[in-house]
């Protein structure tokens, strides 16, 4: 499945169907987001088939950013069957994300 | 492109590091605030720089920068927001840009970690250090900018241009950020404004915010005789490593840091062969 670039229209259905999802809210004008990007891509590969790893461009999908109250990017939101249970704001090393994923797999 | 050495800071330490790394055949990028925003710029007389008595800070800085430019260093104006080692490279974000380098010399001057009440608590929930990153999330909404430099005024103008309602505080002394789940207001030096986001634009980020895990000693970056920090490929020089906060000391430390960075790269190269 790999990394999903998610649109508002398909978002709810996709995350509701996923036991565990990790969504990165980002934008092209944000340097820290660009720095986080390779980490998110690597995690999409590492957790392929186990976790839905997606990216939401807040510029193209402002409604989703508003719905999740994204106040600073990058923001990574963790969901179980569409329900948020954790989030990480700002640039972080991969193990900050794997710790949440491994605990909730 | 990836540089051999990325220098954070364009003062005597950073420019000396740049010249010395470049002299050893390394490509160098210097990232700094505009020269006029360096605290040394306002110094009316520097009388203890060997052989060059009674220079103004501005004269010294101008000469230093000219020297580094003519030596072949590349320059970029901006404030460094984040740095992270991934693989064998340092990635450094400057506003909306990212630069890569094999080593970093931190020479950003004294950046104290003193934060305002509410700043840490609301980080990511209405406190931001990057107007270009987060500004778009606050269009048509009230925001406050706490600025300590001319470049902060420009970032405030950017926020206004994309439709934020901006209150600007110039060099506030004491501020408190308040809210419930997210930021609602900020009070600086007795004046309160409503704000959904407070952009705090200091001249430099504290070293430990830039480099998580960086060892400090008495509020300054801990370094050894080679100006190496505890993080691989990260060197530090100048005021950020402690006093005396003087030009000669900064230039000397910059020289060591630049040479150490060059040596570190050569050593890594040998190991990989």
Note down the domain range covering A93. 4-104
Q: Indicate whether B112 pLDDT > 90.
A: no
Give residue-wise pLDDT tens across range B146-201: 999 878 999 999 999 999 999 999 999 999 999 999 999 999 999 999 999 999 99
In total, how many domains does chain A have?
Answer: 1
Give residue-wise pLDDT tens across range A60-82: 999 999 999 999 999 999 999 99
DSSP B98-158: EEEEEEEEE----------TTTTTTBTTTEES-HHHHGGGGTTSEEEEEESSHHHHHHHHH
Give residue-wise pLDDT tens across range B132-152: 999 999 999 999 999 998 789
pLDDT at B114: 83
Rounded Cα distance between B135 and B146, Å, is 14
Domains assigned to chain B: 2-111+205-272 (3.50.50.60), 127-201 (3.50.50.60)
Which chain A residues touch B96 with a CB distance below 8 Å? 28-31
Nearest to B137 among A33, A35, A70 (CB): A70
**CATH code at A31?**
3.40.30.10
Helices (H), B11-56: 12-23
Residue B212: name the closest of A29, A44, A96, A75 by CA. Answer: A96
In this prediction, what percent of chain B has a pLDDT beyond 90?
Answer: 91
Q: Closest Cα of chain B to A24: distance in Å?
A: 14
pLDDT at B187: 98
pLDDT band for position B96 (cuts 50, 70, 90): confident
Q: Closest Cα of chain B to A87: distance in Å?
A: 11
Which chain A residues touch B197 with a CB distance below 8 Å? 71
Which chain B residues touch A38 with a CB distance below 8 Å? 86
Q: Give the tokens for residue A38.
A: 């390779």
pTM of the model: 0.91
Helix (H, G, I), strand (E, B) or coil at B71: helix
CB contact burial B207-223 (16+ within 10 A = b; e otherwise): bebbbeebeeeeeebbb
- Our CA angle for A95, A98, A99, nearest 5°, is 85
Q: Indicate whether B245 pLDDT > 90.
A: yes
Nearest to A90 among B98, B124, B137 (CB): B124
pLDDT band for position B113 (cuts 50, 70, 90): low
């Amino acid at each position: 499945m790999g990394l999903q670039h998610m649109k508002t229209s398909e978002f709810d259905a996709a995350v509701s169907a996923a036991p565990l999802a990790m969504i990165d809210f980002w934008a092209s004008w944000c340097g820290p987001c660009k720095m986080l990007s390779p980490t998110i891509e690597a995690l999409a590969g590492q957790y392929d088939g186990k976790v839905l790893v997606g990216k939401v461009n807040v510029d193209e999908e402002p409604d989703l950013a508003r719905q999740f109250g994204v106040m600073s990017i990058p923001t990574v939101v963790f969901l179980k069957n569409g329900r948020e249970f954790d989030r990480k704001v700002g640039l972080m090393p991969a193990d900050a994300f794997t710790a949440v994923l491994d605990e909730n797999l | 492109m990836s540089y051999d050495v990325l220098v954070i800071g364009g003062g005597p330490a950073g420019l000396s590091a740049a010249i010395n790394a470049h002299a050893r055949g390394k490509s160098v990028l210097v990232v700094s605030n505009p020269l006029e925003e360096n605290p040394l710029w306002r110094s009316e007389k520097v009388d203890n720089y060997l052989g060059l008595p009674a220079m103004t800070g501005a004269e010294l800085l101008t000469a230093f920068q000219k020297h580094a430019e003519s030596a072949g260093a590349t320059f970029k104006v901006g404030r460094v927001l984040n740095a992270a080692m991934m693989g064998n490279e340092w990635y450094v974000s400057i506003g909306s840009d990212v630069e890569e380098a094999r080593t970093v010399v931190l020479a950003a001057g004294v950046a104290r970690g003193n934060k305002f009440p509410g700043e840490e608590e609301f980080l990511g929930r209405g406190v931001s250090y990057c107007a270009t990153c987060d500004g778009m999330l606050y269009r048509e909404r009230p925001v406050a900018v706490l600025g300590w430099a001319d470049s902060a005024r420009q970032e405030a103008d950017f926020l206004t241009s994309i439709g934020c309602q901006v209150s600007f505080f110039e060099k506030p002394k004491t501020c408190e950020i308040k809210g419930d789940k997210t930021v609602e207001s900020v009070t600086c030096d007795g004046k309160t404004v409503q704000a959904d986001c407070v952009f705090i634009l200091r001249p430099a980020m504290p070293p430990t915010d830039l480099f998580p895990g960086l060892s400090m000693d008495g509020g300054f970056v801990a370094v050894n005789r080679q100006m190496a920090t505890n993080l691989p490929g990260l060197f530090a020089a100048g005021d950020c490593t402690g006093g005396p906060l003087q030009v000669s000391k900064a230039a000397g430390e910059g020289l060591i840091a630049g040479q150490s960075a060059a040596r570190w790269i050569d050593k890594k190269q040998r190991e990989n062969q």
